[in-house]
Structure 1
Amino acid sequence: MLTQEKKAFIEFMMGADVLRFGSFVTKSGRNTPYFVNTGNYKTGLQSSKLGEFYAAAIHDAIGGEFDAMFGPAYKGIPLATAAAGALARNYGIDKPFFFNRKEVKDHGEGGAIVGYKPVDGDRVIIIEDVITAGTAIRETMPILTGCADVQVRDMFISVNRCEVGATPGKTAVMEVGEAFGIRVHALVTVQDIYEYLKQQGGYDEVLPAMARYMEQYCIFE
């Protein structure tokens, strides 16, 4: 269901040129008529507002029932930072956050982790941008389990593309749930975006392309 909150987030993404329409190639190699690039958030106000959207989703889904937030390099870093700030500011939930380096630092404090250092038993949530084929989460989990014996039960993303993963008949989100026991919470889905464009009008070229793409690659629960 397309709520006012979802409409606001879609308009926010479009206003920041993060949600774009045209012809793009995803990390999974698929040609897609729409693309979400959170790297296009580039102002303080955008970062603050983005953090508020994520913080609201976290608060509504799990409250403060976690110990730390992880933002995978690179795009997850500003997302986790913004979300942590908004959680503390808006809800009084002050939690540590951390992220990884792509290259391990061999001087100074060293290591591949920056920020909070997880300990055994920590409940860690992941803050990411999108899930397309589930490739990124499979790269992320070994990083987290290599830090400590942590529990990862929840992941928050901007957009669920609802696309089939490596297993026919299952989306990447379903696979993540089955493989790692992670619940994925999306601020919006591709269905929400499609419905929003239909309601707005003026997207006569985009809608048929999205419909074809969704029919070919998407699975809706």
Structure 2
Amino acid sequence: MVEVASPQDTSLQHRFTQFLLQSGALRFGDFTLKSGRQSPYFINAGAFDNGAKIALLGEFYATVVQNAIADGLFPKRIDTVFGPAYKGIPLAVSTAIALTSAHDFPIGYTFDRKEKKDHGDGGSFVGTALRDGMNVVMVDDVMTAGTAVRESIPKLKAEANINVVGLVLSVDRMERSGDGDISAVQAVEDEFGFPVLSIANIREIFDAASHITASDGKTILTSEVQAQAERYLDTYGSR
């Protein structure tokens, strides 16, 4: 966890970057990703490990949803926020709470079970029941290849004839999907036809981090890490 100085920039991306640094979710070093790539930075969703952090994270997601509605990217009626198990569960719940309490936008939350339950309330989903015609916003943390989306949408559609109207991520790593030139985000948008938004993309995060200092006045993002990040994005970034 990093203690950072008081904010000079109050933009969403800057505030979110400060939050990532303070919570220990944004780390610099040498990390092996699920894809096998060696990355000089890592976003660790497991760092959002208490009520205060997950509440603030939900507020960031809720702000993106509200902005998307205002900009006409999402419809004005959204019935539930869906988060794929397991990491998407606290994201869906905290986003729904923030939208309802802080934005006066009553909305449900839904998440799936890894295995269908055949006793008690039963079924494959928990939370707001899915019904035909519902508008659903999906939330997830960081998209690498879009696997969670491709697994979740058939499950949602099998439950009811719902409309997935968009997906909100915490961070867009802006990396190519497989061997193509487009990003995983662009690939999902092209495949499913709904917008994929993020609280911030990796370039916005690095730009903000370069202007953030620790509480002792020291630079948090060194020029060496910045150079490593640029080389990484030159190799794996979308064109």
Query: Under a length normalisation based on structure 2, what TM-score does the superposition of the two structures give?
Result: 0.86
2:56 to 26, 49, 55: 49
Shift of 1:205: 2.7
Residue identity matched to 2:43:
V
Tell me the equivalent position of 1:152.
164
What is the alpha-carbon distance in structure 2 between the residues aligned to residue 116 and residue 28 of structure 1?
Answer: 33
1:53 and 1:73 map into 2 onto residues whose CA distance is: 20
The answer for unaligned runs of 5 or more in structure 2 is 1-8, 71-75, 213-218
Partner Cα distance (1:56, 1:176) in 2: 22
Tell me what 1:106 maps to. Answer: 118
> 1:161 aligned to 2:173?
yes
Which residue is equivalent to 1:140? 152
Kept in 2, the 8 Å contact 1:132–1:162? The answer is no
Superposed counterparts of 1:58-77, under 5 Å: 58-62=65-69, 64-77=76-89
SS across alignment from 1:77: helix
Deviation string 1:176-215 (CA, Å, 9 cap, x unpaired) is 0111112011100011122123334441331121111100
Structure 1 residue matching 2:21: 3-state secondary structure? helix
- Report deviation, 1:68: 1.2
Asked if structure 2 preserves the Cα contact closer than 8 Å seen for 1:197 and 1:207, the reply is no
User: Residues of 2 paired with 1:93 and 1:160: CA distance?
Assistant: 26
Give the corresponding residue for 2:224: 205
- Does structure 1 residue 181 correspond to structure 2 residue 200? no
> Could you say if the C-alpha distance between residues 139 and 83 of structure 1 is closer, same or farther in structure 2, counting changes exceeding 3 Å?
same
Deviation string 1:10-66 (CA, Å, 9 cap, x unpaired) is: 110111111111122223222211111212111111121111111111111115431
Q: Which has the larger radius of gyration?
A: 2
**Cα distance, 1:127 vs structure 2:** 0.9
Q: Which position in structure 2 is the counterpart of 1:216?
A: 235
Alignment partner of 2:136 out of 112, 115, 124: 124
Q: How many residues are aligned here?
A: 219
Q: Tell me, which stretches of 5 or more residues in structure 1 are unaligned? A: none
More helix by share: 1
Q: CA deviation digits over 1:84-129, x for unaligned, max 9?
A: 0011111110111110111222321222211111111111100111
Higher alpha-carbon deviation: 179-188 or 60-69: 60-69
3-state SS of paired residue (1:129): strand
TM-score, normalised via structure 1 length: 0.93
Return the alpha-carbon distance in structure 2 between the equivalents of residues 73 and 98 of structure 1.
10
Correspondence for 1:193: 205
- Aligned identity (percent) is 39
Confirm or deny that 1:11 pairs with 2:18.
Answer: yes
Distance (Å, rounded) in 1 between the aligned partners of 2:135 and 2:44: 28
What is the Cα-based RMSD across aligned positions, in Å? 1.7
CA displacement at 1:3 relative to structure 2: 6.6
